[in-house]
Structure 1
Amino acid sequence: MNNTTCPYCGVGCGVTAQVQDQAIIAVSGDSDHPANRGRLCVKGSALHETTGTHDRLLQPQVDGVETGWEQALDSVSERLANIIERHGPRSVAMYLSGQLLTEDYYVANKLMKGFIGSSQVDTNSRLCMSSTVAGYKRAFGGDLMPCSYEDIDHAELMVLVGSNAAWNHPILFQRMTAAKTANPSLRVVVIDPRRTATSELADLHLSLKPGSDAVIFNALLVELERRGQIDRDYVEQHTEGLDAALAAAQRSVPDLSTAARLTDLPQADLDTLVDWFCNTEKTLTFFSQGINQSSSGTDKVNSIINCHLATARIGKPGMGPFSLTGQPNAMGGREVGGLANQLAAHMDFSSAENIDRVQRFWAAPNMATTEGLKAVELFSAIERGEIKAVWIMATNPVVSLPRASQVRAALEKCELVIVSECMTQTDTLELADIALPATTWAEKDGTVTNSDRRISRQRGLIPAPGAAKNDWWIICEVAKRLGFAESFSYTGPAAIFREHAALSGFENNGRRGFDISGLTEIGDHEYDALKPIQWPVNATAPLGTARLFTDGQFFTPSGKARLLPVEPSLPQQQPDKSYPLVVNTGRIRDQWHTMTRTGRAARLLQHRAEPFIELHPKDALRFDIAEGDIAVLENALGRYVARAQLSEAQRPGELFIPMHWNAQFTSAAISGDLIDAVVDPISGQPESKQGIASISALKTVWQARLITVSNATPPSEYWSRVPLQHCTSFRLAATNAVDDWSAWCSENLGRKPDLMLEDRNQGRFRGCSFKGDRLEWVLLIEPDQNLPELDWLDTQFARDSIDQDARRQLLAAREAGSSNCGAVICSCFQVRETEILAAIHAGTDSAEKLGEQLKCGTNCGSCLPELKALIAESAKEADHVSE
């Protein structure tokens, strides 16, 4: 069976892999998986391109020396035991990841909280979903996402808040698009400061002031009361707290004119939103990082839930507050207690009864009794020396956490840093005392839970390379060496899953919403063949449940849902005279997290090949920055250097930068270097959507493209790296003039060019070098940045010899008769902007027709918003010319 699950976003798409000679040679969408129905986005479609053994960590390393597993595991256990003996259990920590499978997460949490006795266990899900967890728990009595993807097919109003689903959850977005096509009366509202690709689907786009989301939903609650739209029978029977929630909303936003002023929105647009919400029962509100990554994210989540509870829009088809999860197993990690304030099976440290229950089930000798430090606090404690050892698994906190440089400094000072990782080149792995080679997507075996509570199997389809091992096995082997062999002698992931399922039902009696006790007796063969299933799975729901709360019963002590009083608050990082610009960070279409995997696939770097700073043309004029300039963002924490992109999709005074680039791919573009360690006081989630900075142009004297067989980075003030199929491409820029390029090549590239052309007056230089008959490097200096595309040049590095005609073409940097091809818009079929524009100018006037002609937009659909935008822009230009 070659069906598995995609390891990227929380949509949880099913994947069918084609395996040949113990390698995955192609992937496609699993047409039987309910999450994606056979479709994959461009990242999922390129999964097989990221599974090679190059750049893989293949052997354990102890203090920089390769060793075998026995020595590595002995070193881990002995050093941990020594630190625990000297400083106590809370001096050791784990930092986990939504990239782990549920079984990995389970044994890690069990070892730390039940047997070592330390609750210092947190996960990178803290950075993306913890405000949703806290909001759901406050409202429903548990971390319970009430909706299902099926609800999209029934909705009549969809509100997307802080979510660029078109790029971040593209398969789900295509389902939304299909629903709108099938039901023309379906309305879509997008609430986002930026005009993103998702906005192309919107009937109404509210470009609000960053951080003011709660104002909108408080205003909506006030208007629901004023217009008599609150469902009094439902509120009376099934909720509590409406009066306090209404009073807080009325104090903060007494009317829509106040809301318009606080959000910087036209009052008429807010009126429209209220009208549509009041008149449309089947309303789905999707929310993601724009809500969660805030210093008041939990309150924002509850302001959304308040409006659904007040109108009974929950527990029925086509309605509810729907959190779009960022990672493939963020929800699975929450189920087993991967967060520092959780135990397991949706229990936490809030009661002695919970602690006792988990301790008895595990027969745990050293049960933690208080919650641990959340992610940002945890790394601060490492820096202060309070935590002496940290074990990091499947994540890259040196890039992803706020105050990234401070995280690096903390790990540099830490007595023991253990890193379980599949790749050799990550910013965090550089700091490891002990490096443990872990399996990755195609080799891992276990389960994940997606955004609509659907448990799916992730299957190991190919052998692990080198000495790489599954994370659950590594953890259990360490546990055995620490003296806990009896409790960690699992025969495989199925055995771990059975224990996890049993704990979910242990002394539950309907008091906890998470319950998969119906899978407790699942056999190994049944586990291997497990089909996607939504929880709960128990005696009353043996086949899973599409949506929760259909009976109006919740998991609070009273059985009623809670409406929470919300006082909207501004983001804590506010611009000032020194740092006048707001910095928003986020994902882009073709990359994932910190690029340790997607950065290996050349086609995933063709849509956006470099880090960038997107700013409004008014700000570009204000700060003397032109399109394509290298620009520098700075604040008191650090700097970010990237290429400027001008866009009216940005609000003036606000910038967008991607979160993906790291020190392996560029000189200085780690977004976390600009974000302060400001967190939500309830959830501990960082305010990653609201940094501040100044901006200035880097006054470069020269810019270049270097294509080379070497991965070594030449010295320059700005560089970015793109791996190609046969070589590596660098973009370079510097502020110091070079008098002799031939000498520069000799010094920095190892030899002078074998062929070269130079125009000193124009500041142009082109040179190339050979090793025997094979091409070694090509250097192109172009002051106007008019650098050719890479397709043809890349193929030349695969040739055993280059004839004289081809050598002359190398200096032109393109095949005879060809020209610059433009940016790739459709990564699936490698369709470039120039081809698309040519078709549009020839009369092709719809995305569907472009698909018929060029195939763009016909696979994953991620590029459809850009295709439609190009059509609209061309039509606007044509109208302008005709005037």
Structure 2
Amino acid sequence: MNKVTASTCCYCGVGCGVLIEHDGERILDVQGDPNHPANYGRLCSKGSTLHKTGDIAARALYPELRLGKAMGRSRVDWDTAMEHAAQVFGTTIAEHGPDSVAFYISGQLLTEDYYAFNKLARTVVGTNNLDSNSRLCMSSAVVGYKRSLGADAPPCSYEDIELSDCVLIVGSNMAYAHPVLFRRLEQAKAENPDKRIIVIDPRRTNTCEIADLHLALQPGTDVALFHGLLHILLWEGWTDRAFVDGHTQGFDELKSLVRDYTPAMVSSICGIDRDDLQTAARMIGSAPSFLSLWCMGLNQSTAGSAKNNALINLHLATGQIGKPGSGPFSLTGQPNAMGGRETGSLSNLLPGHRDAGNAAHREEVAAYWGVDSVPASPGLSAIELFEAVRVGKVKALWIACTNPAQSMPDQTLVREALQNCPFVVVQEAFGNTETCQFADLLLPAASWGEKEGSVTNSERRISHVRPAITAPGEARADWAIVCDLARRLEKQLRPGQPSLFGFQSPAELFDEFKGLTAGRDLDYSTLSHALIDQLGPQQWPFRAITGHGTARLYTDGHFATDDGRARFVSEPFIPAKEQRDARFSLTLNTGRLRDQWHGMSRTGTAAQLFGHVEQAQLSLHPDEIRSRRLRDGQLVSVRSRRGEIILPVTADEQIRPGQAFIPMHWGDRFLKGLGVNVLTQPAFDPISKQPELKQASISVTPVALPWELYVLVEGDVQQRFEALRPMCEQFAFASFALTGRERPALVMRVAHQSAPDVAVLSTIDRLLGLDEGPVIVYDDARRSIGKRVKIEDGRITAIRLTGETAARDWLHGVWQSGEADAALRRWFLAPLSSPPGGGAVADKTICSCMNVSASRIRAGIESGQDLDGLKQSLGCGTQCGSCVPEIRRMLATSAQPA
């Protein structure tokens, strides 16, 4: 009999509740939890397909150990693996000191996992070299909140999205990155058309579809824009002087600074119209309530801290904080980045929102843990950490639940560091990530649906994560792996002393950690897993006297600073580190796709999630395409000062001329060449240490790769992927994707200067099953064109084209239709490369939830249907709603006169 377990989604920081249907061994389905206050039953396209991801073939199932860099890994038992890890770490610490080892962990860990890592690093090992991939996404927001408000505490709740009269969205394609919250905003706007929405983003993203005003500023100029808005607010008298005088410090200094940021100056710097600047200031200044929402566009910058504080300045100047519908609200990127900040999982932090550089804070934590001291020397942040690994200062590195060989900037140096490190441990649920290839020890970890613990979402709400099934193979919970290592290291480094890691369950870890929040701004010391089960997810601080959490902070105008006053932060606009020049004439921006997540270790196993965007591509404005004499779909070389990748170019009117966009998700698995982050720069904000992943200068030139290979094959998709991927290192360009919904298939596209040896193609044919069975073959040796198609039960199951691949989209469409018709057979047996006239073409999926293609939506529009009619007839937009902005754009385009 099937069961249902309430848990949470493992993707973004919205923290959606999910109901997992399972039979005790397998996860069968997932639905949104209607009782969870983060989403009330809504799920996005990624969350609603969770049960279709995590293919067992992609999982790490057993410990694997490599005894030499030139050797492969071999399966070992857990005791051997952990004893070896403890021996290497212990010896390294004894010979080179505690700072010769480091831990790099993840915003996808549970709070209990985080806490175990923190306690291990600070007590047993004695180092602050513990950082998280949250450094790449949220550390500038942490600095912004602490400098302005005194504590890393987002003061708002999701309900403020509905309550606000004016919503400012900055540097976030909310429609893609946080779609469940975007649905709430979309519905609130429909119910209250007078609600004003301003979007600040260099691109015209889907989020702009509901905006009253889009400010397409030049990348990196946010500080100048915010100062310019404050200049107008002051000029027009739209500030709250009583609030400023009664609850803040530093306003006069800021007034002096922003006096110079006139509309003319800001218009010139930001590349926006002066009237639009005035309109934005009027919307903010005249609104009874004002809410700002932001994400990576502000944070991933060498001026990320200054951008955050300049935005918060607007709220303090207008008194728009601490009341319904108002406040500065950072949208967290990962499911438990907040929990990591709470437990001290950045190298400069300690548990309970304490600072590692604060002696009193160190004493408090040491006393709580019952140790003499915790380390005082500063720890290494992510960029600094991998550079220390590269130059040999860090000699043993433990990586958990993150993929730095895909996600870190300047991949050439990151991979050099991983390759040169004497000992790398990777604790990971998925054994095929880019980072796993560098693991000397691979430890299989439990994943979503298999773990228990807690997470904190963007609105400070703590949820109990419950497991539905046991982890496959010999995978273990992350906290259990950490505690195992800690107990073994204690025997070497703290001999004869009682263990600090006698935890037998995640609840015990939670109960110890929560004491470190007592009396702090995030106090939830009276919560427990059991109480969350009883009361439901709770926002911190949790008041035991009232029995519920706190919806909004600073409602009394008292802030978490020493004197209770918020601080205005006055910092001038400083241009981004890397600017365009004659050699690198385009500014590259990176960001999210609607249906993919981070490095695609999970979403990359679900064919359904490739339907909207199937391959990595460089997006340029059509004018940029024309001026460079490029063709849509043409392969180009994209170079920065750090590296190069080859990928197809596509025209996109959402991007301004002079700019370019590549999705962040593709690394070296799905796109040969180390992925997008071979281009991005490691320069970082001097305070938050967050790198400037959002801006790099690039050049784009066409490449001549006349020989092409196209493959589409059904069945054993992950196994075929793993077999075919290594073969593509010999080619100049290689791209992989999955396709299909009911019949998942692997798609591979390759291009090179010349044809490979016949033996290479023979091996590919064998891996595709094209060396036997009902296979149609056509070879034209003179033209170096080859065709292979396998038809079983009247249906195409495998395709291989070589030489050139002009017919690939047509063949993809024939495969989608499921009918291997006579036209296909005639084409394969004729010396034709282009598809026959009138043939089907591959069709983009607009609605992933209901599998509705672009062609079906266009047909519905041509028949006279509006959005409601399309929803009713096709079902598109009726589930997660992520496709609605794109459908609206299609409707608007069709309504324009020819």
Residue 403 of structure 1 corresponds to 410
Residue 719 of structure 1 corresponds to 734
CA apart distance, 1:418: 0.7
Amino acid at match of 2:485: V
Question: Is 1:221–2:226 an aligned residue pair?
Answer: no
Residue 182 of structure 1 corresponds to 191
Residue 858 of structure 1 corresponds to 878
> 1:517, 1:538 within 8 Å by CA — same for their partners in 2?
no
Let me know the Cα RMSD of the aligned residues.
2.6
Separation of aligned partners in 2, 1:425 and 1:144: 36
- Local SS of the residue matching 1:2: strand
Residue 705 of structure 2 corresponds to 700
Aligned mate of 1:29, from 25, 32, 35: 32
Separation of aligned partners in 2, 1:92 and 1:866: 48
Aligned mate of 1:637, from 642, 654, 668: 642
Residue 746 of structure 2 corresponds to 729
Name the CA shift for 1:526/1:773 in 2 (closer, same or farther; >3 Å).
same
Can you list the C-alpha shifts for 1:471-496, whole angstroms capped at 9, x where unaligned?
10000011111126621111211111
Question: Is 1:663–2:668 an aligned residue pair?
Answer: yes
Specify every segment of 5 or more residues in structure 1 that has no aligned partner in the other structure, as ranges. Answer: 797-801
- Local SS of the residue matching 1:110: helix
Residue 394 of structure 1 corresponds to 401
- Local SS of the residue matching 2:384: helix
Amino acid at match of 2:736: R
> 1:115, 1:366 within 8 Å by CA — same for their partners in 2?
no
Residue 849 of structure 1 corresponds to 869
The equivalences for 1:342-361 within 5 A come to 342-361=349-368
Residue 799 of structure 1 corresponds to none
Identity among equivalent positions (%) equals 39
> 1:780, 1:787 within 8 Å by CA — same for their partners in 2?
no
Residue 107 of structure 2 corresponds to 98
Name the CA shift for 1:469/1:566 in 2 (closer, same or farther; >3 Å).
same
Residue 682 of structure 2 corresponds to 677
> 2:144, 2:306 within 8 Å by CA — same for their partners in 1?
yes
Name the CA shift for 1:540/1:570 in 2 (closer, same or farther; >3 Å).
farther
> 2:667, 2:677 within 8 Å by CA — same for their partners in 1?
no
Aligned mate of 2:439, from 409, 432, 441: 432
Residue 23 of structure 2 corresponds to 20
Name the CA shift for 1:169/1:789 in 2 (closer, same or farther; >3 Å).
farther
Separation of aligned partners in 1, 2:146 and 2:399: 27
CA apart distance, 1:415: 1.4
Amino acid at match of 1:492: S
Name the CA shift for 1:596/1:747 in 2 (closer, same or farther; >3 Å).
closer
Name the CA shift for 1:236/1:540 in 2 (closer, same or farther; >3 Å).
farther
Residue 315 of structure 1 corresponds to 322
Name the CA shift for 1:775/1:720 in 2 (closer, same or farther; >3 Å).
same
Question: Is 1:238–2:247 an aligned residue pair?
Answer: yes
CA apart distance, 1:756: 2.4
Number of residue equivalences: 861
CA apart distance, 1:502: 1.1
Name the CA shift for 1:30/1:804 in 2 (closer, same or farther; >3 Å).
closer
More displaced 10-residue stretch of structure 1: 329-338 or 802-811? 802-811
CA apart distance, 1:461: 0.7
Separation of aligned partners in 2, 1:99 and 1:655: 29
Aligned mate of 2:522, from 503, 514, 521: 514
Question: Is 1:788–2:798 an aligned residue pair?
Answer: no
Separation of aligned partners in 2, 1:160 and 1:17: 32
CA apart distance, 1:228: 1.8
Aligned mate of 2:508, from 495, 502, 507: 495
Residue 380 of structure 1 corresponds to 387
Question: Is 1:548–2:553 an aligned residue pair?
Answer: yes
- Local SS of the residue matching 2:293: strand
Separation of aligned partners in 2, 1:720 and 1:795: 23
Question: Is 1:152–2:161 an aligned residue pair?
Answer: yes
More displaced 10-residue stretch of structure 1: 691-700 or 129-138? 691-700
Amino acid at match of 1:649: Q
CA apart distance, 1:733: 3.7
Can you list the C-alpha shifts for 1:340-379, whole angstroms capped at 9, x where unaligned?
1001110112421111000000112451113311110111
Can you list the C-alpha shifts for 1:93-141, whole angstroms capped at 9, x where unaligned?
1001001000000110111012211000000000001000000000111
> 1:388, 1:416 within 8 Å by CA — same for their partners in 2?
yes
The equivalences for 1:767-782 within 5 A come to 767-769=788-790, 777-780=798-801
CA apart distance, 1:702: 4.3
CA apart distance, 1:25: 0.8
> 1:98, 1:123 within 8 Å by CA — same for their partners in 2?
yes
More displaced 10-residue stretch of structure 1: 475-484 or 3-12? 475-484
The equivalences for 1:166-565 within 5 A come to 166-251=175-260, 253=261, 255-365=262-372, 367-483=374-490, 486-505=499-518, 508=519, 512-519=520-527, 522=528, 525-526=530-531, 531-539=536-544, 542-565=547-570
Amino acid at match of 2:360: E
Can you list the C-alpha shifts for 1:576-595, whole angstroms capped at 9, x where unaligned?
11111101011111100001
Aligned mate of 2:123, from 88, 110, 114: 114
> 1:115, 1:367 within 8 Å by CA — same for their partners in 2?
no
Separation of aligned partners in 1, 2:795 and 2:820: 10
> 1:340, 1:374 within 8 Å by CA — same for their partners in 2?
yes
> 1:518, 1:542 within 8 Å by CA — same for their partners in 2?
no
Residue 59 of structure 1 corresponds to 62
Separation of aligned partners in 2, 1:71 and 1:794: 49
- Local SS of the residue matching 1:166: helix
Aligned mate of 2:95, from 71, 78, 86: 86
Question: Is 1:621–2:626 an aligned residue pair?
Answer: yes
> 2:708, 2:750 within 8 Å by CA — same for their partners in 1?
yes
CA apart distance, 1:668: 2.3
Amino acid at match of 1:662: G
> 1:308, 1:321 within 8 Å by CA — same for their partners in 2?
yes
Name the CA shift for 1:244/1:197 in 2 (closer, same or farther; >3 Å).
same
Can you list the C-alpha shifts for 1:164-196, whole angstroms capped at 9, x where unaligned?
000110010000001101111001111000000
Residue 595 of structure 1 corresponds to 600
Amino acid at match of 2:626: L
- Local SS of the residue matching 1:361: helix
Separation of aligned partners in 1, 2:875 and 2:794: 38
Separation of aligned partners in 2, 1:830 and 1:441: 25
More displaced 10-residue stretch of structure 1: 485-494 or 822-831? 485-494
Q: TM-score, normalised by structure 2?
A: 0.92
CA apart distance, 1:443: 0.5
CA apart distance, 1:704: 4.1
> 2:428, 2:442 within 8 Å by CA — same for their partners in 1?
yes
Separation of aligned partners in 2, 1:504 and 1:738: 63
Can you list the C-alpha shifts for 1:405-446, whole angstroms capped at 9, x where unaligned?
211110111111111001110111110111110001110111
Specify every segment of 5 or more residues in structure 2 that has no aligned partner in the other structure, as ranges. Answer: 67-72
> 1:342, 1:371 within 8 Å by CA — same for their partners in 2?
no
Aligned mate of 1:827, from 844, 848, 853: 848
> 1:821, 1:832 within 8 Å by CA — same for their partners in 2?
no
CA apart distance, 1:795: 9.6
Aligned mate of 1:583, from 581, 588, 613: 588
Amino acid at match of 2:697: I
Can you list the C-alpha shifts for 1:600-659, whole angstroms capped at 9, x where unaligned?
000001111100100011211222211111222012211122221101111101000011
